[in-house]
């Protein structure tokens, strides 16, 4: 039981690491606002699924949407936030300037959420997030029978858009573009990818289920593979 929670957490961190690897490892920009995206994603999923707030507690929206739809909407919103921060920070800022700007962005976001209570109830925070696996997929701590219903997610970052991102980094480091032209692992092309580049970096419904359903340790290893796809060459 305890180890299940540890592995679950490890899976979540693995997803986060995958996302950071896209920004930092491939594109070469250290985005400190990254954990802000995580925060906004979970807050939005919460307010989209949990329903209306009861008076002392206050937060925006308060819808009763299906969990999967809520996660999808939260992802869209977070992609929007990342795009705004990126549009500012990536204009002509690299290295330290980029890191400082993203740190500033996430600090501002943090303060806004903390102090502006109508948004997400400020300091008090919100709780009672629905566990989607519990009901919809009959996923409990006692068993991982769910595994057989899910196909492992094979299409991971590193197989198409990733090379372009690595190319961006290499060009900006003026280190030559040799990484950027590495061939596709598994012989898979870019076509037919189920999601967009940015969406893949974030905990989506598919990735989330896969991590919950997979055997322990699997997410981490996959994360490494994603990175090594180009590093090995």
Partner 1 sequence: MTTFLVTIGIGLSTAAILSLSAVAFTLEYAVSRIANFAHGEFLTIGAYAAYSGQAIFHQNVAAAAVIAAAAGAAAGLALNFGLIEQFRGRTAITVFIATLGVAIIVENVLTIIYGAANVTYGFSQGKLHHVGPFLWTTSDIEVIISALAVAGLIYLLLQRTRFGKAVRAISQDRALAQVSGIPARRIIMATWALAGAVAGFAGFVLADTIGTFGPTLGFSFLLLTITATVAGGIGRPYATFGGALIVGLVIQIAGTYTSSAYELVFAFLLLVLLMLFRPNGVFVRPSAVTVRA
- What residues contact residue 66 under an 8 Å CB cut-off, 6+ apart? 49
Using CB under 8 A as the binding rule, whether residue 104 contacts partner 1 is answered as yes
Q: What are the angstrom distances between the C-alpha of 49 and each of 75, 87, 210?
A: 14, 30, 21
- CB half-sphere exposure, 168, CA atoms < 13 A: 14
| Residues counted in the chain | 233
Judged by CB under 8 A, does residue 115 bind partner 1? yes
Q: Is 117 in the site for partner 1 (CB under 8 A)?
A: no
* Residue 84 interacting with partner 1 (CB under 8 A): no
By C-beta, is 61 or 93 nearer to partner 1? 93
Of residues 6, 76, 108, 129, which one binds partner 1 by CB under 8 A?
108
Query: CB 38 → partner 1: shortest distance, Å?
Result: 18
Tokens of 15: 């997803």
User: Within 13 Å, how many C-alpha atoms sit on residue 175's CB side?
Assistant: 11
Does 95 help bind partner 1 (rule: CB under 8 A)?
yes
Out of 2, 96, 127, 192, which residue is the one contacting partner 1 (CB under 8 A)? 96
Considering the rule CB under 8 A, would residue 199 count as an interface residue with partner 1?
Answer: no
Stretch that binds partner 1, among 46-54, 84-92, 189-197, 200-208 (CB under 8 A): 84-92
Distance CA 87, CA 130 (A): 33
181 binds partner 1 (CB under 8 A): no
Contact call for residue 30 and partner 1 (CB under 8 A): yes
The nearer residue to partner 1, 28 or 132, going by C-beta atoms, is 28
Beta carbon of residue 95, minimum distance to partner 1 (angstroms, whole number): 5
Degrees (nearest 5) of the Cα angle 44, 47, 50? 135
Q: Is 105 in the site for partner 1 (CB under 8 A)?
A: yes
Q: d(Cα 212, Cα 133) in Å, to the nearest integer?
A: 8
Distance CA 79, CA 38 (A): 11
Task: Give me the residues that bind partner 1 (CB under 8 A), please.
Answer: 30, 88-89, 91-97, 99-101, 103-105, 107-108, 111-112, 114-115
């Amino acid at each position: 039981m305890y180890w299940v929670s540890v592995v679950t957490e490890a899976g979540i961190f693995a997803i986060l690491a995958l996302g950071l690897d896209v920004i930092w490892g491939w594109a070469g920009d250290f985005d400190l606002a990254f954990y802000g995206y995580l925060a906004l994603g979970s807050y939005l999923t919460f307010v989209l699924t949990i329903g209306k707030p009861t008076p002392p507690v206050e937060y925006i929206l308060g819808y009763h949407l299906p969990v999967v739809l809520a996660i999808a909407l939260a992802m869209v919103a977070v992609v929007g936030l990342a795009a705004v921060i990126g549009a500012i920070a990536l204009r002509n800022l690299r290295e330290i300037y980029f890191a400082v700007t993203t740190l500033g962005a996430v600090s501002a976001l943090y303060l806004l959420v903390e102090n502006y209570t109508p948004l997400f109830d400020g300091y008090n925070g919100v709780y009672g997030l629905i566990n989607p696996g519990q009901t919809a997929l009959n996923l409990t701590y006692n068993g991982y029978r769910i595994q057989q219903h899910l196909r492992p997610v094979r299409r991971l970052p590193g197989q198409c858009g990733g090379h372009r991102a690595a190319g961006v980094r290499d060009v900006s480091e003026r280190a030559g573009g040799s990484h950027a032209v590495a061939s596709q692992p598994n012989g898979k092309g870019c076509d037919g990818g189920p999601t967009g580049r940015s969406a893949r970096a974030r905990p989506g419904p598919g990735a989330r289920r896969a991590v919950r359903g997979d055997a322990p340790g699997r997410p981490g290893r996959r994360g490494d593979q994603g990175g090594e796809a180009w590093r090995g060459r």
